[in-house]
Structure 1
Amino acid sequence: MSGFAYVVRGGQVESPPLKQALGIRADLAWIHLTTNDERAKAWLGGEARLSPYIIEALTAAETRPRCDSVGPGAVINLRGLSSEALAASDPLASIRIYAHGGCVFSVTRKALNALHPVRELVAAGKILDPGDLIAALAQAITEELDPVVADLGDSLDDCEEQIATGHAFDLRRMVNRVRSQAIGFRRFLNPQRAALEKLATIPSDWLGDDDRLHLSAAADRAARMAEELESIRERAALTHETLTDLRAEQLDQRSLIIAIVAMVFLPLTFITGLLGMNVDGIPFAHEPWAFWGVFWFCLTIAVVITVYFVGRHWFER
């Protein structure tokens, strides 16, 4: 188990050990744990003296974005990008937060990219209370996700442009990747929007009016990204169907060409097979012109059949 702590008193920022930060009365005491083992539960229940419900909310293996009011405080789960490799079905790392009064407990199981800029803001003395901290985390998460969602839309635009210009070779992998990422992100952004909206309306002394405005702005941004991801998902599905239709059309065209070639050579095969039998009585078998006669006869039949199919525009279907 590892972590850090910040204490803000009168605009002054300190970074004491975790245990010492628990007993300090301050405008903001932020205690963060990075863990995925049982020691976190023991520490939160023993040293921090949190209730079992809050401990379970902070250390649960599977979470989704949510916000619950707990007495004078609130439990908030948010999801953001991580520098670690995550499963395609679970592409965002979680941060679980319990805030009350001047104290904030947070727990992550995977590295969360948004933590670094928020820590810098705290160290610079720009975050002074729990409301500022949670609003900064929400903003950092949404600001980092926004260009990623935009890049997914741009990738899909490139796929659609290549299809329109006839360069649709091997695009299905890219379309499937975009669709999979859009579904994974959207799975968490919709409940995250609802959690931020709920947090902005919770009656509490540690959330100021400016904090509520920032949370509402982050919620609006999450809602816009969720709508964009839904649009990307639908467009990716349509693009995939278009690629499937194009592939089927290519197979049909190639099958048609193969069938036409087979129909051209079918009568020729019959004639050469008939004349190639090793029996007596084959007409013109001993004539010097017989080979070239059969050759030109077969060539004439092949030309006639080919002209027929060209005239019927079979090669253009």
Structure 2
Amino acid sequence: MTETSWTIGAHGESKFCWVHLDGHDEKAMRWLDTGSEGSGHGLPPTARFNLTTAETRPRCQPLDGGVIINLRGPRAHAEEEGDELVSIRIWAERGRIVSVTYRRLAGLEQLRVRMDKGEFLDPGDLIAALAVQISHQLDPVIAELGDQVDDCELSLSSEHFHLRREIAHARSKAISYRRFIVPQRQALEAMALLEQDWIEDEDRIHLREAADRFARMAEELEAVRERSALLHEQITDLRAEKIDRRSLVIAIVAMIFLPLTFVTGLFGMNVDGIPYAHHPLSFWAVTGFSLLVGASVAIWFAVANWFRN
């Protein structure tokens, strides 16, 4: 197997091993069907199908004395495309765990080192440690989303329409995380209730602790989503209000110049018979009359409080 696929056995009296496979490693994936060096490995068909399926969501399902459990955690490389949370597919039974990932899961190497040191004595220890590790990794990420929305709320004003992009980004990430965190909590709660002799009481405590963390994350993500939607509506209202104010100013200016346009158009006609056409003060008289009309209309708008609206 390649360095992204491995088999580790626990030290001491425990007969427990962890077989991890890279979904893109063809040799490793053939092991699921043919067995290692020709020896059968006893995986149920349903478990093999779950380990090789392309799309998964967090779940927990007991099967033939073992457990199928799919979890999601942060990806090892942030620049990768796709979902923020990558999947790890697990088949757990007494003495053995078989897991498959198609994208690198953050923190998997740390678990590998701990497994190699013999810290995990049964599948329950390893799965509980994985769940707790994922919850610790996601806690600051979810908190950062909430802080981002807090900052947007504090800086919200009619001059900060660029916040719409940040709010939309935070809302999109919250929806993406919540899509997997809610069923992951349910999967861990279900596993903590399973009657498997290799799931010890301490493992159940850790599983419930991780499930509780995911429940709080789900609530925080729901709050982020709702607050983002509310902020988006507030920014839209501010934008509409600003457009209305500008439209009002344009309308007032147009109303002031409307009578002036009529007067200047009337006296600007190139026809005979216009009164005082040759009088030396005619131009100044028309100009003064236009200014008087414009000032009168502007004063009327001011008295009617149009400028304050």
* TM-score (structure 1 length as normaliser): 0.90
SS of structure 1 residue aligned to 2:307? helix
Checking the alignment, whether the CA contact within 8 Å between 1:117 and 1:140 is kept in structure 2 is: no
- In the TM superposition, what are the counterparts of 1:138-177 in structure 2 within 5 Å? 138-163=131-156, 167-177=159-169
* Structure 1 residues 195-214: Cα deviation after superposition (integer angstroms, max 9, x where no partner): 00011111112111111100
Does residue 274 of the first structure (1) align with residue 266 of the second (2)?
yes
Change (3 A) 1:75 1:51: same
In structure 2, what is the Cα distance between the partners aligned to 1:131 and 1:284? Answer: 105
2:59 is equivalent to residue 57 of structure 1: no
Which residue matches 2:38?
none
In structure 1, the residue corresponding to 2:98 is in which secondary structure? strand
The structural deviation recorded for 1:54 is: 0.7
Verify the 8 A CA contact 2:5 2:28 in the aligned structure 1: no
Give the corresponding residue for 2:194: 202
Contact 2:158/2:239, CA 8 A, preserved across alignment: no
Map of 1:234 onto structure 2: 226
Matched, 1:86 2:81: yes
Q: What is the alpha-carbon distance in structure 1 between the residues aligned to residue 118 and residue 45 of structure 2?
A: 33
Q: Work out whether 1:120 is the aligned partner of 2:113.
A: yes
Aligned residues: 300
| Rounded Cα–Cα distance in structure 1 between residues aligned with 2:255 and 2:104 | 65
What secondary structure does 1:9 align onto? coil
SS in 1 for 2:168: helix
Return the alpha-carbon distance in structure 1 between the equivalents of residues 201 and 68 of structure 2: 19
Q: Output aligned runs, 1:40-51, within 5 Å.
A: 41-47=29-35, 48-51=41-44
Counterpart CA distance in 2 for 1:175 and 1:296 is 54
Task: Out of 297-306 and 45-54, give the one that drifted further.
Answer: 45-54
Q: Report the secondary structure of 1:125's partner residue.
A: coil
2:5–2:22 CA contact under 8 A, matched in 1:
yes
Trace 1:216-295 onto structure 2 (pairs within 5 A): 216-295=208-287
- Residue 10 of structure 2 aligns to a residue whose secondary structure is strand
Match of 2:10 in 1: 8
Q: Does 1:182 align with 2:174?
A: yes
3-state SS of 1:5 partner: strand
- Structure 1: stretches of 5+ with no match in the other structure: 12-25
Give the partner amino acid of 1:8.
A
Is the Cα contact below 8 Å between 1:30 and 1:103 reproduced in 2?
yes
Partner residue, 1:32: 20
Identity percentage over the alignment? 51
Say if 2:161 and 2:239, in contact at 8 Å, map to a contact too.
Answer: no
**Does the 8 A contact of 1:36 with 1:59 survive in 2?**
no
Instruction: Identify the match of residue 96 of structure 2 among 103, 110, 122.
Output: 103
CA distance, structure 1, for counterparts of residue 117 and residue 259 of structure 2: 88
